[in-house]
């Protein structure tokens, strides 16, 4: 659904290869942050269990919110699309983020009117 990309052995992957096969929407999410939209809210005991979904990459964010105080309790967790996280790459360095940002910006330029 997100366009093809060749498989690269995890130990050989570089940021360039990862960005080249990454759907461009993912570069926007890594650049701007996710674009959260409401997806689901349930009442679970003393909490709201809230799920939000990113309109670009479909990552889901799950939170437990105290129904009385509104405080976040129990932390925030994420469910990513299968190909969002890049195996073989650890945390992105500033240069890695820069490489992703350049792809995101070039795509923005293509869309700018």
- Structure tokens of 98? 């820069």
- Helix, strand, or coil here: 27? helix
Position 22 contacts Zn ion (CB under 5 A): no
Largest CA distance in the chain: 50
The nearest distance, CB 59 to Zn ion, in angstroms, is 5
29 sits near Zn ion (criterion: CB under 5 A): yes
The residues, ordered by sequence, that sit 6+ positions from 34 with a Cβ below 8 Å of its Cβ are: 54, 56, 57, 59, 61
Site string for Zn ion, 48-67 (x = CB under 5 A): ------x-xx-x--------
Question: Pattern of binders to Zn ion over 32-51, x per CB under 5 A?
Answer: --x-----------------
Residues in binding contact with Zn ion, number by CB under 5 A: 6
CA 12, 28, 77, 62 torsion-angle sign: negative
Q: How far is the CB of 85 from Zn ion (least distance, A)?
A: 12
17 vs 58, which CB is nearer to Zn ion? 58
Task: Record the tokens describing residue 108, joined without a space.
Answer: 């923005």
Yes or no: say if 57 and 25 are a contact pair by the CB < 8 Å rule. Answer: yes
Residues that bind Zn ion (CB under 5 A): 29, 34, 54, 56-57, 59
């Amino acid at each position: 659904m997100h366009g093809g990309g060749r498989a690269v052995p995890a130990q050989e992957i570089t940021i360039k290869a990862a960005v080249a096969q990454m759907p461009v929407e993912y570069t926007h999410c890594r650049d701007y942050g996710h674009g959260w939209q409401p997806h689901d809210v349930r009442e679970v005991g003393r909490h709201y269990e809230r799920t939000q979904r990113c309109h670009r990459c479909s990552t889901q964010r799950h939170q437990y919110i105290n129904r009385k105080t509104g405080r976040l309790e129990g932390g925030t967790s994420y469910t990513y699309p299968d190909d969002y996280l890049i195996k073989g790459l650890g945390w992105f360095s500033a240069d890695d983020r820069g490489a992703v940002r350049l792809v995101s910006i070039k795509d923005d330029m293509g869309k700018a009117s």
